[in-house]
Amino acid sequence: MAVPRRKTSPMKRGFRRSADALAAPTYAEDKDSGELRRPHHVDLKTGMYNGRQVMKVKSKD
């Protein structure tokens, strides 16, 4: 039977388990356009944040 040679320290155990807390990013539906966007982020297509125009949108000319 395989037996570990040394006890795993709490620090090494924490390093291994740190990826368990990672989660997929959440998305919310935009009220105006209906598209999905990250909460608390500027909508890059319209330049709107919290109902205000905060940045100019580059045109594709």
What residues make up the domain containing 47? 27-61
Residue 12 lies in a domain: no
Q: How many domains does the chain have?
A: 1
Residue 20 lies in a domain: no
Tens digits of residue pLDDT in 9-47: 999 999 999 988 888 889 988 887 788 989 999 888 888
2 burial (CB, 10 Å; 0-12 / 13-18 / 19+) is exposed
Q: Which of helix, strand or coil describes residue 51?
A: coil
Residue 15 lies in a domain: no
Per-residue model confidence (pLDDT) at position 35: 86
Quick check: 61 pLDDT over 70? no
pTM of the model: 0.53
Between residues 42 and 61, the one the model is more confident about: 42
* Side-chain half-sphere exposure of 41, counting CA atoms within 13 A: 13
Contact 49, 56 (CB under 8 A): no
Q: Which of helix, strand or coil describes residue 14?
A: helix
Residue 57 lies in a domain: yes
Residue 44 lies in a domain: yes
Per-residue model confidence (pLDDT) at position 59: 78
Per-residue model confidence (pLDDT) at position 26: 92
